[in-house]
Structure 1
């Protein structure tokens, strides 16, 4: 059975795990936590592996991680001490990593292998919510450092056969990511950006959809929403892997004045 592809929000730092006693997150993060907690149950079947593209890993050529991502990389700062001891001890899947690399290379993309880097918080924070038992193997794939939208959409297209092989392709980022702008004064512009992005992402014509999303920086308030593009580029991979399937927004909420969305293809 073909799995969908997804672009998910991964929150802010360890936002779902701020209580050292393990209690719920702050109210503003609870809808996002609930969305992530329901991801696996929402699929037509449980994936045998996850291929995840995080906005927190860029390399000159696309890198596929062959290891188990341990020890984790706590790439956030200024949070409570216990958040630097969080664990998500899942396994990697070298066979899936090499299969992904072969698909990319057949499409003309150079790839590199890595087995030592720890998974960053764009991986382990949402996965601690979505797969709390850490019982689905995971492969992390880097963004290419040029952050070329069309190239990342093409990378996704190359990876699309994995969907028929039990692999869930997940882009992990944030549809709005401007850390310098928070609060109610942001919401109107964030909402206009989100509406324009969603209209492009859900365009029923797949070719036009890809063209519009590749030109994301022409949308209203694009560079206000993303001064840098790395948190949006995982969307490009998920969209490309979605191929000609229908697209939908399956999450929307406001946090810190931002309007944040998640998308599903297929």
Structure 2
């Protein structure tokens, strides 16, 4: 009888131990799943170059092509992203506009390039539900916006994305910049978009940290970087914490060399950077790209990975 009771107690103890271990494994599993689900996606600004030239391997764009094709993936884990919100310099509207169809064709908004550059495809899906949620979030923040199910993805979207993620397997929501080019409004837009990073949605800004079309045409290969001072200002601003970053960026046009880098009424290529800086959270950004196009025009790219 004593042997039987001891055996029974032993079985009960073994059962308790087994259930405890099982419970611990279940907790670990769901904790791990929760952590995976809660990965904070980055906010990243990239330079997209001139028209389709990064895709054509044009010599003055090789550094940019290499960065988009090979380097971005070292900073962004595309396998865990739920979607991408992409703010493009090539879509200016009076109110923030959001692509909202399940599929968007490409909008070839460049001229005079080889015939094959008008046959590109990039078949990543859209995400109408996410588009609606972005609009609601903007409305709650007092920012006017509209959904646009018709406009195609312009080259500010498909040129960098064909290099960054050629598999086209991540949903993309294209978002416009504002035609008023107001830096404070663009920073506020980014601050609203920040919340989606917590859901595993990356925020990508596609523009140029230097964009002066006249200089691009007439001042190549001078042997001198024409915007070194302004580029260093951008670096210091973007690698600062949120308060200083905002303070510096909303007065960008008063900086030395600002209007040479982005002429009056033609600063649309800087606006995506300001949006991404707004989506960066409290911490400083990191410069992950710094390269001189044609040995003359210094371009910088930035990423924000933390809260």
- Normalising by structure 2, report the TM-score: 0.81
- Alpha-carbon spacing, 1:249–1:126, altered in 2? closer, same or farther (3 Å): same
Q: 1:226 and 2:258 equivalent?
A: no
Q: Report the secondary structure of 1:7's partner residue.
A: strand
Q: Report the secondary structure of 1:125's partner residue.
A: helix
Q: 1:43 and 2:81 equivalent?
A: no
Correspondence for 2:188? 154
* Cα distance, 1:68 vs structure 2: 4.7
* Cα distance, 1:189 vs structure 2: 2.5
Please give the alpha-carbon distance, in whole angstroms, between the structure 2 residues aligned to 1:70 and 1:84.
Answer: 15
Moved over 4 A (4+): none
* Cα distance, 1:245 vs structure 2: 2.1
Correspondence for 1:4? 42
* Cα distance, 1:100 vs structure 2: 1.2
Correspondence for 2:302? 263
Task: Name which one, 1 or 2, has greater alpha-carbon Rg.
Answer: 2
As a proportion of its length, which structure holds more helix? 2
Please give the alpha-carbon distance, in whole angstroms, between the structure 2 residues aligned to 1:186 and 1:163.
Answer: 41
Contact map agreement 2:92 2:176 (CA 8 A) in 1: yes
Correspondence for 1:249? 287
- Aligned CA-pair RMSD: 1.5
Q: Report the secondary structure of 2:211's partner residue.
A: coil
Q: 1:75 and 2:109 equivalent?
A: yes
Please give the alpha-carbon distance, in whole angstroms, between the structure 2 residues aligned to 1:17 and 1:39.
Answer: 15
* Cα distance, 1:249 vs structure 2: 0.7
Contact map agreement 1:197 1:219 (CA 8 A) in 2: no
Please give the alpha-carbon distance, in whole angstroms, between the structure 2 residues aligned to 1:115 and 1:230.
Answer: 22
From 228, 233, 236, the counterpart of 1:199? 236
- Alpha-carbon spacing, 1:186–1:208, altered in 2? closer, same or farther (3 Å): farther
* Cα distance, 1:109 vs structure 2: 0.5
- Alpha-carbon spacing, 1:69–1:28, altered in 2? closer, same or farther (3 Å): farther
